[in-house]
Structure 1
Amino acid sequence: MPHQTPLHAAHVEAGARMVDFAGWEMPVNYGSQIEEHHAVRTDAGMFDVSHMLALDLTGAGATDYLRKLLANDVAKVKTPGKALYSCMLNEKGGVIDDLIVYYFADDKYRIVVNAGTADKDVAWMRKQIAAQGANVTLEPRRDMAMIAVQGPNARARTWAAIPGSESASATLKPFNAVEIGPMMIARTGYTGEDGFEITLPAQDAAALWTDLMAAGVRPCGLGARDTLRLEAGMNLYGQDMDDNVSPLNAGLSWTVDMKDETRNFVGRDALEANPPTARLIGLILQDKGVLRAHQHVFTEHGEGETTSGTFSPTLQKSIAFARVPLDVAPGDAVEVDIRGKRLKAVAVKLPFARNGQALV
């Protein structure tokens, strides 16, 4: 039986089509996935992301622990509320998960991990605590819910729905968060649009969802979330990278920080011994068809494979991520095997769209 978020009843009441996603019963859409997608690009939409897991890390050894756990370096984050995106690697350099860590003090962090990897992540983190003998406490917060409000009008509509939130978050810069009592408002997201991700006590989630709807925010499901993130050039764990894929081959080299030669994070030795062999690039289909994951890609420099693909509502074209040879460059003509036919596509630089605009 799939888990249910604190907003499950609200989704059912709104007529959402529910599906099993990573062991959670989640809304895929509320009628029109395309309209939900456009609502986020042009106005404001909201997503129930309570299936993701927030973890609170506290203790005197928190910073040192995270510097060894993550490929990105939390030492460069010193402003309370500042967020850092990173991969957590295994010893072979594969991606256990991609996550966001929020810094509040040297002994206080919040980490948000993906739903499908949550149990695996917690087990790995606790294993590393034991291995390091770290003086930290890791607390999963399943008592919290998360709502992502995204779009050009997302912040204004959030302020209308949450009294007092504007004064606390109006000057919040992207990739920063602020705590308002038990609530955390982060200017982060997974759509390529401005907005907030709000973490709050589970018992308060349904009321906030209702207030956001009253403020003009449109409920959106997993379908729109996937097309939005793909247009925005954002990886999805389990498709664009996993335990067997190096971040160096997944378009995530920018999240790997090796500047401090003394910082021996898990997976560093493997990354140094195995330089990138492929790159992640965007594709736009030129012929009629739809790009999906796991389609064969043919280039002048060798073969590759699509990792994610969809029809882009913003571009009105079929788009994909593809892992291809390093020499493939934006502008190159390629072919993709779709149902036994080699169809023409062009390689482009990611992202495809952000901030309401097509970029390619």
Structure 2
Amino acid sequence: MTQKTVLNEMHRRLGAKMVDFGGWDMPLHYGSQIEEHHAVRRDCGMFDVSHMCALDVAGPDAKTFLLRLIANNVGRLQTPGKALYSAMLNPSGGVVDDLIVYFVEDGQYRVVINAGTAEKDIAWMNARLAEWNLAATCLPRRDLAIIAVQGPNAKSRVWQVLPETRAASEALPPFHSISVGDYFVATTGYTGEDGLEITLPASKAQAFWQALLDAGVPPIGLGARDTLRLEAGMNLYGQDMDENVSPLDAGLTWTVDLSSDRDFVGKAALLAQPQRYDFLGLVLLDRGVLRAHQSVTSEHGDGEITSGTFSPTLQTSIALARLPLGTAIGETVHVAVRDKQLAARVTKPRFVRNGRGLI
């Protein structure tokens, strides 16, 4: 059965085109995906991301559990509120899921996992807890909703609606969080823009959403969320990585701690099988649109696009791709688009940040 967030009826009243996304009935757009994209880059917009699953990991062994579970090192989280991005790996070094971990206090963390993988992830985590016999619990918080407000004016709009959060969050650095009453406010996001992600009781979500609407914040659907994240060079689980792809081949080496003595699931596999591909960006030089699974030919061998789209900000087609090692920034490669070989320029895998093109 398709699941619904607490805001489902509000999306429908706003005229959203609804689609199945990871088993959830979610808004694709509210009329114009392009206008929604530009709203976030130029002003701000809000996303219902309540389909994402927040988990509270707590107990005397919570830190030990996360140290063994994920590829990044939660030992680096020394200040309450600080967060990090990482992935859970399987023993072969493939990505079970990517996630964000927030350090709340000693013995307590909040972990946010993807919607479509939530059931699998929770089973995986509980199996590891049992296997390692650790004193910790992993509690899904489906009593909570998550609303992301992103864009250059996002914070001021949130503070207009929730003035009590301003003093606590105004000086909050990127990738940090703080609790203000019932609101868990985080400076994380998936657009490459400034903004806040607010986790709150599901019972308060509709009123908060309506207050943002009244303050002039437009709702943004999954379509614009995808073009925004791709412009920002952010991975999407199931496209840019999955259980058969190493994080080293998905541009996620920076989220993997191989330098310390700490052991974690998948570490031995990563050490035994080093990086095989470069994860880079492509900008199309010919007319057409780059899409996932299109093959790429270069002087160094063949590669594949993992995510591709037309960039509303740059007004050209862009993509993320796994390319042969040694492929250089600025090099020209060719992409198979239908029956043609189209030229594309290799770039860093980040195209837009804070409204500005980087290529």
TM-score normalised over the length of structure 1 = 0.99
Partners of 2:2 and 2:12 lie apart in 1 by: 15
| Shift in Å, 1:279 | 1.3
Partners of 2:104 and 2:11 lie apart in 1 by: 33
Matching of residues 160-179 of structure 1 within 5 Å: 160-179=160-179
- Describe the SS at the equivalent of 2:71: coil
Partners of 1:310 and 1:39 lie apart in 2 by: 18
8 Å CA contact 1:95, 1:243 repeated in 2? yes
Partners of 2:188 and 2:216 lie apart in 1 by: 20
Please state if 1:309 is matched with 2:318: no
**1:56-87: CA deviations, max 9, x gaps?**
01101011110000000000111101011001
TM-score normalised over the length of structure 2 = 0.99
Please state if 1:327 is matched with 2:299: no
**1:164-221: CA deviations, max 9, x gaps?**
1111211111100001122200000000001001101111101000111112211000
Find the counterpart in structure 2 of residue 61 from structure 1.
61
8 Å CA contact 1:185, 1:196 repeated in 2? yes
- Describe the SS at the equivalent of 1:3: coil
8 Å CA contact 1:44, 1:216 repeated in 2? no
Please state if 1:51 is matched with 2:51: yes
One-letter code of the match for 2:21? F
5+ long unaligned stretches in structure 2? none
- Describe the SS at the equivalent of 1:280: strand
Find the counterpart in structure 1 of residue 136 from structure 2.
136
**Residue identity (%):** 60
- Describe the SS at the equivalent of 2:39: helix
Find the counterpart in structure 2 of residue 244 from structure 1.
244
Partners of 2:265 and 2:100 lie apart in 1 by: 17
Find the counterpart in structure 2 of residue 300 from structure 1.
299
**1:77-116: CA deviations, max 9, x gaps?**
1110101100110000000000000001220000000001
Find the counterpart in structure 1 of residue 41 from structure 2.
41
5+ long unaligned stretches in structure 1? none
**1:313-344: CA deviations, max 9, x gaps?**
01000000110101111101000000021011
- Describe the SS at the equivalent of 2:248: helix
Partners of 1:270 and 1:106 lie apart in 2 by: 31
Partners of 2:131 and 2:319 lie apart in 1 by: 40
Partners of 1:195 and 1:78 lie apart in 2 by: 23
One-letter code of the match for 1:96? V
Partners of 1:216 and 1:51 lie apart in 2 by: 24
- Describe the SS at the equivalent of 1:219: coil
Partners of 1:201 and 1:105 lie apart in 2 by: 20
C-alpha RMSD over aligned residues = 0.7
| Shift in Å, 1:162 | 1.0
Find the counterpart in structure 2 of residue 26 from structure 1.
26
Partners of 2:49 and 2:328 lie apart in 1 by: 35
Partners of 1:64 and 1:3 lie apart in 2 by: 33
Find the counterpart in structure 1 of residue 356 from structure 2.
357
Find the counterpart in structure 2 of residue 264 from structure 1.
263
